[in-house]
Amino acid sequence: MTRESAALPAVTPRPGAGRSPDGTRLGWWSVGSGPGLLVVHGAMQSGLSQLDLARELAGTRTVHLLDRRGRGRSGPWPAGGFDVSAEVADVIAAARATGSTDVLGISSGAILALRAALTDPGIERVAAFEPPIAVAGSIRMDQIARFGREYAEGRLVEAMVTAMRAAEMGPAVLRFVPRRLLQAGTGRMLRRDDAATPAPGVPHLRELAMALPADLRIVADNAERAGDFAGVQARTALLAGSATRPYLRTAADAVAAVIPGARSVVLPGTNHAATQNREQYGRPERVAPALAEFFGA
């Protein structure tokens, strides 16, 4: 659960902005030139988490890195609370505003991208990287419920550890570390980040953590619903790393199996961090060729 590098690459991304149908401000960062590709990030990320990947594709694409609502340059959720359909509408609005008919969704953002493709025929191609969709009980929903209780009670550090364990993120050894030690380390990391000054456009770690309920809601609302995506008409590719957690490979395979003509792409030697910036343990140079081939760049 580290945030983007505090040092941005030499090429400065260009800011852009628009509005969702409910009036929420949407912000994004654009890199490169050519046909538009909208990137929808996942949990504990913002748009700039995929800046290195955008630069890999910038020679032939204009890559638009959306800040999902509640993060970075985008506005908060309405007073009524979080609703998955609102974020799906955000994706569609950002795609239209940027002129992007191609969308890449990452983790929870992959679920949003797939649901946007179900709704909007203007999305012609969608690449979904490791959507966390429970298949036959592959995700522990009791841990997601526990996260909700801890978050609602203001126990953010405990909630972050619960989310990390529910998603099986980080090295496998962390699953054997006592919770109290994980909580102590997470608390120190939050305090250090609170005291630091992030680079322009890079949210504090606490801001990303405060947005976690949105991502966990997406996972909960889409559990055991891979079949919903059979109606996707856009050309679709499901991407997963060869070294990722098994439940994510299972989810990608299940979604690919129900969408007519969908591709299933395995990225050798990569895990769930693959699309992120290199200083966040990403391997964008291994992801970019698959995306360039699929999107015809």
Between CA 71 and CA 17, with CA 47 as vertex, the angle to 5 degrees is 75
- pLDDT tier, 4 (very low <50, low <70, confident <90, very high otherwise): very low
Whether residue 29 is predicted with pLDDT greater than 90 in this model: the reply is yes
User: How confident is the model over 148-174, as a mean pLDDT?
Assistant: 89
53 versus 1: the higher-pLDDT residue is: 53
Whole-angstrom distance, CA of residue 182 vs CA of residue 188:
10
The pLDDT assigned to 174 comes to: 73
* Surface-to-core class of residue 196, CB atoms within 10 Å of its CB (0-12 exposed, 13-18 middle, 19+ buried): exposed
Whether residue 51 is predicted with pLDDT greater than 90 in this model: the reply is yes
- Note the CATH architecture for domain 14-137+221-295: 3-Layer(aba) Sandwich (3.40)
What confidence tens digit (pLDDT) does each residue in 184-196 have? 999 999 999 999 9
Whole-angstrom distance, CA of residue 167 vs CA of residue 137:
13
The set of residues, in sequence order, having a beta carbon less than 8 Å from that of 192 and lying 6+ positions away, is none
- pLDDT tier, 28 (very low <50, low <70, confident <90, very high otherwise): very high
What confidence tens digit (pLDDT) does each residue in 32-46 have? 999 999 999 999 999
What confidence tens digit (pLDDT) does each residue in 100-154 have? 999 999 999 999 999 999 999 999 999 999 999 999 999 999 999 999 999 999 9
What confidence tens digit (pLDDT) does each residue in 220-260 have? 999 999 999 999 999 999 999 999 999 999 999 999 999 99
Lowest mean pLDDT segment, chosen from 26-30, 65-69, 82-86, 213-217: 82-86
Percent of the chain with pLDDT over 90: 88
The pLDDT assigned to 153 comes to: 96
Range list of H helices, 99-245: 108-119, 141-152, 156-166, 179-195, 205-210, 212-221
- pLDDT tier, 158 (very low <50, low <70, confident <90, very high otherwise): very high
The pLDDT assigned to 8 comes to: 39
47 versus 12: the higher-pLDDT residue is: 47
- What are the domain boundaries of the chain? 14-137+221-295, 141-215
Percent of the chain with pLDDT over 70: 95
Average pLDDT value for the chain: 93
The pLDDT assigned to 5 comes to: 39
Whole-angstrom distance, CA of residue 97 vs CA of residue 285:
28
Whole-angstrom distance, CA of residue 297 vs CA of residue 294:
8
Residue 259 C-beta-side C-alpha neighbours within 13 Å:
28
Neighbours of 198 (CB within 10 A): 16
